[in-house]
Structures are given as C-alpha cells and as structure tokens.
C-alpha cells in the first residue's frame, strides 16, 4: 500500500519552529516562516541549543547581514511567484521598494552571495511553480504562462526547456505516464 501526501511546507515549518521555540519557553513572535522576533533577550547557551535543534530539521540561523538581505530577496520572490493570482510584478522595483535599497545594489549583492543573478533565480522559481501547476493538470499551458507573467506559451516553453532539459508538453506526458503506472500498480 502507498500513501500519497500533500505537504504544506510553510505550515510545517511554522509548526516545527513554534514547537522548538516553545520548548525553550521563549517569548517570540513569528513574523513569517523565515523570521522570528524575540520579545526578550535570549541567553547564549539557549541560543546555541536552539540553533542546534533547528539544524536537525533543516533550519539554519542566518547571522550575516548580507545573507539576511539575500534571504529576504529570495523570500519576496518565492512568495510573489507562488501567489495563485496572475503576476504583474516588475521585480526590480518590487524588491527595491520592499527592501529599501537600489536594485543595482540588491542585484550585485545577490550575485556576490549566491553566484547567480536575481533573474536566474526568478526563472528557476517560475519553472518550479510551472512544474507543480502542470502536474496538477488543472490549468492549460496558456493559463500557466499567463499566471506566471510570461509573454507567451513559447516563452514559457523556451525557459522551461532551458531549465529542465524537456518541454512542458514532455513533462506533462511524463507526469501522466507515472500516474498511470502508479494507478495500475495499486489495482
């Protein structure tokens, strides 16, 4: 027997984070999945222990200011791309407005820390969302291209193939074939 699960990663991360913070009896406020505001001073030994326990679940406390700003850029990009309504965002203005720095500075910092550009990161995130939407089989490629703010299905297809090595249509066929194999093995 197989069990198929859908996981809400943000809910799961918030739950783990809250449980770990509560286990130390800390007063805090969860700003989002990637940001915690402590409402009291945290003793060094508790901080180290918390950090170690969070690492067991894949959390890493970021202490370098440049890395924090890059993480905030990534969070804003991912959050915006994963919204279910169609995107109509110019990321350069959006990031600069939300983070209080010029886009040139943010772009250079992102490249310095991640060894890739903001544009490449955006493309990778869009393709990940496109793969999920294709796998759900609820939207056409035209609808997916519109939602992800592509100028055309051809543009989406080109970036999809450059990123994954296969076309969106080939990806659809693979997903469909896997589902058929799984369904046939269950019966």
Number of compact structural domains in the chain: 1
Is 49 among the domain residues? yes
Stronger pLDDT, 153 or 87, i.e. the higher one: 153
- Is residue 187 pLDDT above 70, yes or no? no
Asked if residue 41 is part of any domain, the answer here is yes
Give one DSSP letter per residue of 88-101, joined into a string.
---HHHHHHHHHTS
Q: Is the pLDDT of residue 125 over 80?
A: yes
Domain that holds residue 35: 10-61
Decide if 155 is inside a domain.
Answer: no
Looking at the domain assignment, is residue 30 inside a domain? yes
Asked, for residue 121, whether it belongs to a domain, the answer is: no
Q: Is residue 173 part of a domain?
A: no
pLDDT at 86: 65
Average pLDDT, the chain: 88
Judged against a pLDDT cut of 80, whether residue 87 lies above it is answered with no
Residue with the two structure tokens 């890739």: 116
Q: Is residue 34 part of a domain?
A: yes
Could you read off the pLDDT of 127-164 as tens digits, one per residue?
A: 999 999 998 888 899 999 998 999 999 999 999 999 99
At residue 105, the pLDDT reads 95
The C-alpha R_g of the chain, in whole angstroms, comes to 20
Question: What global pTM score does this model have?
Answer: 0.72
Could you tell me if residue 148 is inside a domain? no
Residue 35 bridge partners (DSSP): 32
Q: Tell me the mean pLDDT in the region 4-20.
A: 84
pLDDT classification of 11: cutoffs 50, 70, 90: confident
The residue length of the chain stands at 187
């Amino acid at each position: 027997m197989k069990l198929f699960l859908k996981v809400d990663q943000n809910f799961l991360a918030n739950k783990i984070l809250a449980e770990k913070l509560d286990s130390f009896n800390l007063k805090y406020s969860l700003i989002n999945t990637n940001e915690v505001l402590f409402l009291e001073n945290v003793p060094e030994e508790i901080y180290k222990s918390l950090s170690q326990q969070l690492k067991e679940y894949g959390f890493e406390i970021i202490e370098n200011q440049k890395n924090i700003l890059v993480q905030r850029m990534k969070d804003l990009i991912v959050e915006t791309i994963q919204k279910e309504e169609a995107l109509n965002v110019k990321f350069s203005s959006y990031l600069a407005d939300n983070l209080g720095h010029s886009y040139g500075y943010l772009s250079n910092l992102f490249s310095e820390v991640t060894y890739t550009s903001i544009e490449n990161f955006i493309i990778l995130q869009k393709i990940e969302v496109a793969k999920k939407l294709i796998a759900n089989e609820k939207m056409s490629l035209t609808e997916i291209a519109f939602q992800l703010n592509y100028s055309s299905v051809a543009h989406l297809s080109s970036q999809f193939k450059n990123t994954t090595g296969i076309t969106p249509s080939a990806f659809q066929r693979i997903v469909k074939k896997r589902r058929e194999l799984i369904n046939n093995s269950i019966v």
